[in-house]
Amino acid sequence: MKALVYVGPKTLEIHEREDLKASGDNNLIRVDAVGICGSDMHAYLGHDERRPAPLILGHEAAGQVLSGPMAGKNVTVNPLVTCQMCRYCLEGRENLCQSRQIISMQPREGAFAQQLVMPKRNLVEVPHGVAIEHAALAEPIAVCWHAARVGVGALFCDLAEARCLVHGGGAIGVGSALSLRAMGAKKITIAEINTVRHGMLSALGDFRVCEPENAGEDYDIIIDCVGISHTRKAASMIVAPGGVVVHVGLGDSFEGLDVRRMTLQEVTFIGTYTYTAQDFCDTAQGIFDGIFGALDWIEERPLDGGVNAFKDILAGNVAAPKIVLCPN
């Protein structure tokens, strides 16, 4: 099979690998669509010690099962493989399983390849008529659905009346705004530093789109999809008293929060990581039902175009929030 392999900082290569095989409860999947995630970019830059080279990255996948219990079916892939036995798995909080594995991180290589093997429990069948490239968005939007669900659960006001801010207009920012809207939010602002994206973001619907410095203040809920000291500082300054800050971005780990203001104003700060298995299923069903809109904000490229796709994203030359690679 053909695979896009991370071989060192800012270096990807197309390699030929042996075809994969599946046995038991596992399924051999022909990968037809796989998105490029911010965590893939982080690894590409050499900033993720959990993903040493050489490694096949990519975890936002969908395709057709070639062999295994779900043979012949189109599926979208939940890339989190958990133990199913620990306290967190039994509580339905599988994303906190301390034995969890995720494809694109050893010992499980990723989906920037023509084939992938996954357990049946990690697959959701995609109905006929749903575009496979849209099905591949289940993973990133599930991150957003989980963040929005947890944040909205901490709100004291009615979501329909809440002033909502999403920091970042990439795929996680877009998915967070769409998730908030699907849950009933009416007043949503997306703050995005890259003005190349503003036109596309405005076309998504009734969102206010602005540069971060023009966002204003007194937001009841802020979802930080960037996760750097600057956005944390901004969030802790402009969140309303009693408001909620949801931190989903993993840009850096240091500084930014005004803990004194957050304490005096009873601001709730919540970190969210990936999603539960139920969140993933709910998100996939939402895509199938069309609750997130047309999902026409992706850009498709062949797997052979993956090297240049990473370079274009790094240079800020991509207006689309998500590039989806098509390996087959």
Write the CATH number for 315: 3.90.180.10
Element (H, E) at 166: strand 163-167
Provide the residue range defining the domain that includes 149: 142-271
User: Is the same domain home to 147 and 235?
Assistant: yes
On whether residue 288 sits in a domain, the answer given is no
Rg (CA), the chain: 19
In the chain, the number of structural domains is: 2
Is residue 280 situated within a structural domain? Answer: no
Whether residues 129 and 147 fall in one domain: no
Kindly tell me if the per-residue pLDDT of 174 is higher than 90.
yes
What CATH number is associated with residue 223? 3.40.50.720
User: Does residue 166 carry a pLDDT above 90?
Assistant: yes
- Has residue 205 got a pLDDT over 90? no
101-102 and 80-81 beta bridge pairing: antiparallel
3-state secondary structure 60-75: EEEEEEEECCCCCCEE
Looking at residues 21-29, what average pLDDT do you find? 96
For residue 93, is it within any domain?
yes
290 in any annotated domain: no
Q: Answer yes or no: do 236 and 321 share one domain.
A: no
pLDDT at 218 over 90: yes
Please check whether residues 40 and 129 belong to one and the same domain: yes
In this prediction, residue 254 carries a pLDDT of 85
What is the model's pLDDT at position 251? 84
- 222-278 confidence digits (pLDDT tens): 999 999 999 999 999 999 999 999 999 988 888 999 999 999 999 999 999 999 999
Task: Assess whether 190 and 237 both reside in one domain.
Answer: yes
Mean pLDDT of 150-166: 98
When pLDDT is averaged across residues 209-220 and rounded to a whole number, the result is 97
Three-state DSSP class for 174? helix
CA 263 centroid distance within chain: 30
131 and 148 in one domain?
no
Taking 90 as the threshold, does the pLDDT of residue 115 lie above it?
A: yes
Q: What is the pLDDT of residues 281-292, one digit of tens each?
A: 999 999 999 999
Q: What is the largest CA-CA distance in the chain?
A: 59
Predicted local confidence at residue 253, as pLDDT: 82
Q: Which of 117, 121, 81 shows the shortest CA–CA distance to 99? A: 81
Single-letter amino acid, residue 104: S
